[in-house]
Amino acid sequence: MLKPGGYAVIFGPLGVQKECDTFSCCHCNSVVHIKPKCNPSDLGGQCRLCDKPVCPKCVGKGCAPFEMKLEKWEARDRALRSYGL
């Protein structure tokens, strides 16, 4: 994968057994392992607004960047704590 979001290695008793790139979904932050030569549609898709890969669970659900979700959660938490809740 061009510009992977991570790298995974499985070490067996005889040494490295399997290695693959990974990417993190830009909408839910899930890590997806990229199986060599797999069908690209099995990996999820590409968000055309973020221009980043999304996992199979987030395909077709609209654009909701994870960073935006984090900021929303933190703003809600700050508000609730300011109210003493």
Partner 1 sequence: MANFAIANSTAMGAGNVQAAIAATYKSLVVIGNSTTSTANLGSGMLRRGKLYDILIGTNGTPADNFMEFDVTRVTVGTSSVLGGGLSSLSSTMGLDPADSNGFINLATINTSIETAMTATTEVWYVGINQRASYRWVAAPGSEIVWPAVSSVGPSNGIALRARSAAYTGTATATTLWQEQ
Among positions 6-65, residues that touch partner 1 (CB under 8 A) are 6-13, 17, 22-24, 28-31, 33
Which span sits near partner 1 by CB under 8 A: 3-11, 34-42, 43-51?
3-11
Q: Enumerate residues 6+ apart whose C-beta is below 8 A from 17.
A: 10, 11
Rounded Cα–Cα distance for residues 50 and 37 (Å): 25
Does residue 2 belong to the site contacting partner 1 (CB under 8 A)? no
Neighbours of 66 (CB within 10 A): 17
Give the binding-site size for partner 1 (rule: CB under 8 A).
Answer: 29
From the list 50, 64, 65, 66, which residue makes contact with partner 1 (rule: CB under 8 A)?
66
CA 59 to chain centre: 12
Q: Which of 68, 65, 70, 62 is nearest to 24 (CA)?
A: 65
Residues of the shown chain interacting with partner 1 in the complex, contacts defined by CB under 8 A: 3-13, 17, 22-24, 28-31, 33, 66, 70, 73-74, 76-77, 80-81, 85
